[in-house]
């Protein structure tokens, strides 16, 4: 499985996880000039931008550690473009991270709400 397939598999698992938690998925893989927003969803009155990181091992750090300050800055700019374009109504806005580690046929999902 290459990195693109691993990423797709991780996003599928993240979407299934969010739906079980009663999130409503509004968009996936929303592209902007600043990069891609993996998942955009609602939880009640909150609009949630979810960044998904999937890894096969922790040899190069945990999935969560892959989200650098520069990545966060790009995600914020991409989210601003989404908000300008779609103009959704919401009472709360947040960025979550779903980190997925798939190691030795075992999966660990870590959902960090209000990650940044």
Q: Give me the DSSP letters along 66-87.
A: G--HHHHHHHHHHHHHHHHHH-
User: According to the model, what pLDDT value does residue 83 have?
Assistant: 98
Q: Answer yes or no: is pLDDT of 1 > 80.
A: no
Query: 100: pLDDT confidence band, cut at 50, 70 and 90?
Result: very high
Residues 6+ apart with CB under 8 A from 72: 95, 116
Q: What whole-number distance in Å separates Cα of residue 1 and Cα of residue 9?
A: 10
Q: What does the pLDDT look like over 6-29, one tens digit per residue? A: 999 999 999 999 999 999 999 999
At 34, list the tokens.
């600043």
User: Domains, the chain, ranges and CATH?
Assistant: 3-112 (3.40.1350.10)
């Amino acid at each position: 499985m290459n990195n693109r397939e691993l990423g797709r598999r991780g996003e599928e698992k993240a979407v299934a996880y969010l739906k079980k938690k009663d999130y409503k998925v509004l968009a996936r893989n929303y592209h902007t000039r600043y990069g891609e927003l993996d998942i955009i969803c609602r939880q009640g009155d909150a609009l949630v931008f979810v960044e998904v990181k999937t890894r096969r091992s922790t040899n190069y750090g945990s999935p969560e550690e892959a989200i650098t300050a520069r990545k966060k800055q790009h995600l914020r700019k991409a989210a601003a473009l989404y908000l300008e374009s779609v103009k959704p109504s919401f009472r709360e806005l947040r960025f979550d991270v779903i980190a997925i580690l798939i190691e030795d046929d075992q999966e660990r999902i870590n959902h960090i709400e209000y990650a940044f």
